[in-house]
Amino acid sequence: MDGEARVTVVGAMSAPLGGDRIALEVTAGPGTRLRIGSAAATIALPGRSAGPAHYEIRLTVADGATLRWLPEPLISAHGSDLRMTTRVELAPTARLVLREEQILGRTGESPGHLTTRLTVHRAGRPLLDQELAYGPGAPGWDGGAVLGGHRAVGQLLVVGPSYDTSPVARPRLLGETAVLTPLTGPAALATAVAPDALQLRRALDEAAAAVG
């Protein structure tokens, strides 16, 4: 996109391990356009510590600014325990595109325990607050009401002033395992499950095309 700054986050293959505490903070100043991705997937691994790892992401988007938060997937490896929190603060005229993808276990292995929470405020008021848990100790996570045997799950959140006048009219299916839902406020949320990372990305790309 013309005039858009691009940043790639490069992480260590050895983190987050059990007991780690990692924080990442991003601020998009007034009128800026910023796209942030990552060089590779993040892999949650077991560590020597018995406690969980904590990964906190804080995103702030000022008036007139656009932030596209598009990292590669998070992989929950067998034996890991990760608590991931994403907090977003949006000014009234800020725009946000946020993609999250979680892969539950590497090829041929069961997942670790993963808890994710996404909290979004716009102009100081709550827009979205949700928490999800998967893996050992999370009730019903693999049942028909949650993943139904799938091992990849993700969402795409789009927030912008244009939805004040042209909101998503109603929830609708995108393919067989994804749904696009309007939120109370100028936003739309697509959620999807899939057998693997490739099919999950395709579903979220379709959602991105549907919301423009």
pLDDT number for residue 12: 64
Q: What dihedral angle (degrees, nearest 10) is formed by the CA atoms of 26, 101, 65, 165?
A: -150
Domain span at 34: 5-211
pLDDT number for residue 32: 97
Tell me: the pLDDT tens digits for 108-159?
899 999 999 999 999 999 999 999 999 998 999 988 888 988 999 999 999 9
Distance CA 65, CA 51 (A): 38
pLDDT number for residue 153: 96
Distance CA 15, CA 17 (A): 5
Per the structure, how many domains does the chain have?
1
The DSSP code sequence of 32-76 is: -EEEEEESS-EEEB--SSSSPEEEEEEEEE-TT-EEEE-PPPEEE
pLDDT number for residue 14: 61
Tell me: the pLDDT tens digits for 148-193?
889 999 999 999 998 877 778 788 888 888 999 999 889 999 999 9
Lowest mean pLDDT among 71-75, 79-83, 161-165, 188-192: 161-165
Tell me: the pLDDT tens digits for 13-53?
566 888 899 999 999 999 999 999 999 999 999 987 778 99
pLDDT number for residue 1: 55
Contact residues for 6 (Cβ-Cβ < 8 A; gap 6+): 34, 35, 36, 37
Contact residues for 177 (Cβ-Cβ < 8 A; gap 6+): 150, 192, 193, 194, 203
Give mean pLDDT, residues 60-83: 96
